[in-house]
Amino acid sequence: MFRPAFRQLRLSRAFATTRTAFAQAHTPRQATHSLKVEDAPIIQYVKRRVEERRRLQSEVSDDALSDEDIQKVRKIRELEPLQDAWTEWKHAKQSLEETLPLLSDSDPTMRSMAEEEYASLSESMNRMVEETFPSLLVPPSDTAHLSAIIELRAGVGGSESALFTADLVRMYTRAAQAQGWTVTMLASNTLETGGMRDAIMEIKGKGVYDALRWESGVHRVQRVPATEASGRVHTSTVSAMVLPLIEEKASNSADEELFTMDEVKIEVMRSRGAGGQHVNKTESAVRLTHIPTGITVSMQDERSQHQNRRRAFQVLRGRLMDRKLNQEMIDRRDLRRNLVRSADRSEKIRTYNYAQDRVTDHRLGMSVKNLNSVMEGDGLQEFLKALQQRYHDDLLEDVLSERSDSER
């Protein structure tokens, strides 16, 4: 871990440091930092897992592999990356301890190089604690490959709510395009007075669902409507639902887990609304009803019944998969903690306050100034990253607490 020049200088001194001298050589701040790192829950957890791997290795028979031995070997292999990371962390820690006495060296050159080495080793160890260990302990996302469908519906506030629905459509569109994702409007209900009563968007790209799934909930806007002569601030709401998008090539296997065709009532009817000569001439609109859950999906924006049917099934799969994923999350947490910590979609998750030029996410307790940046899509990334990090931290906390509970 040492840089070559510093290693040569350090070894040429041929010094020996006792434990007492070592304790006196570094400052209280450094000692406290070292103690805190050593006592961190994640370090203690990783240490226990490594010790568990060592124990399993000693228990595996050298002669014949029983079924129990095979299970142990599989577990040993699963823990190998964690063992490698732990070995690297221990080496860094040992090098850090060897560097500490040199921070008080009388030679300015040695002291300067020791300070540089200490900073480098500390950064490396912190990075392993904050990034490497969590990435090895938290299971990979089962939904990382999924794109998403966003459903937006105007709520309280009448025409102002409809206008804000259109603003959110633009916000998500620009945020998605900035990430290189593709956006398709599947359905929308545009009002003559402006704005949208509802809209369904398809956003495709790597990691889309995992990035946007926490946008589900009620978005509240506080601003003076363009039609308000007195300048009074109005409060309006828009509800959002982010669903996983299951591609058609994978839909057959997914359908088997989510529903059977005899559970789905299919109705066809004539399209309504704008559409020129096509309207009311053919029965192209499709409505699906999933009988067990009562979930209903209607689609009429496409020109043919086949296209509307395909889109409707796409949304139905998304809603049922979303329901399944949320239930699994609730069941996991309820099993371990008897406590459900899922977001309630009936409650507001974010407030967009135009008068104060501020956007506040109520789940994070986080506010961002420059509302226009958020509505343009750029500032939204701050919330998306913070929400993803919170979810990752929650998963890590679940892993650590689950293991602690099992050892009691």
- 281 and 152 part of one domain: yes
In DSSP terms, 219 is beta-bridged to: 238, 350
- What pLDDT, on a 0 to 100 scale, did the predictor assign at position 260? 82
- Rounded-to-integer distance, Cα 345 and Cα 353, Å: 20
Q: Is 317:331 a contact under the CB 8 Å cutoff?
A: no
- What pLDDT, on a 0 to 100 scale, did the predictor assign at position 138? 83
- 132 and 113 part of one domain: yes
- For 304-356, give the DSSP string: SHHHHHHHHHHHHHHHHHHHHHHHHHHHHHHHHHS---PPPTTSEEEEEETTT
The type of residue at 175 is A
Q: In the listed set 137, 170, 205, which residue is the last one of a domain according to the structure?
A: 137
Q: In the listed set 332, 352, 372, which residue is the last one of a domain according to the structure?
A: 352
Nearest to 393 by CA among 368, 369, 363, 367: 363
Q: Which residue range is the domain that position 95 belongs to?
A: 4-137
- 112 and 163 part of one domain: no
- 207 and 127 part of one domain: no
- 307 and 192 part of one domain: yes
How many domains are contained in the chain?
2
- What pLDDT, on a 0 to 100 scale, did the predictor assign at position 140? 79
CATH number of the domain where residue 305 is located = 3.30.70.1660
- 70 and 151 part of one domain: no
Q: In the listed set 108, 137, 166, which residue is the last one of a domain according to the structure?
A: 137
- Rounded-to-integer distance, Cα 288 and Cα 110, Å: 75
Per-residue pLDDT of the chain (408 residues; tens, 9 = 90+): 445 444 444 434 423 332 233 334 334 344 444 445 666 788 888 888 899 999 998 888 777 678 888 888 888 888 999 999 999 999 999 999 999 889 988 888 998 999 999 999 989 998 898 888 888 888 778 888 889 999 999 998 888 999 999 999 999 999 999 999 999 998 899 998 889 999 999 999 989 999 999 999 999 999 998 777 777 899 999 999 998 887 655 545 555 578 888 888 988 887 665 544 444 456 788 889 998 888 999 888 777 888 888 888 888 888 888 888 877 766 655 544 433 333 344 579 999 999 999 999 999 999 999 999 999 999 999 999 999 988 888 888 888 876 555 554
- What pLDDT, on a 0 to 100 scale, did the predictor assign at position 329? 67
- Rounded-to-integer distance, Cα 165 and Cα 158, Å: 11
- What pLDDT, on a 0 to 100 scale, did the predictor assign at position 64? 61
- 125 and 191 part of one domain: no
- Rounded-to-integer distance, Cα 128 and Cα 311, Å: 45
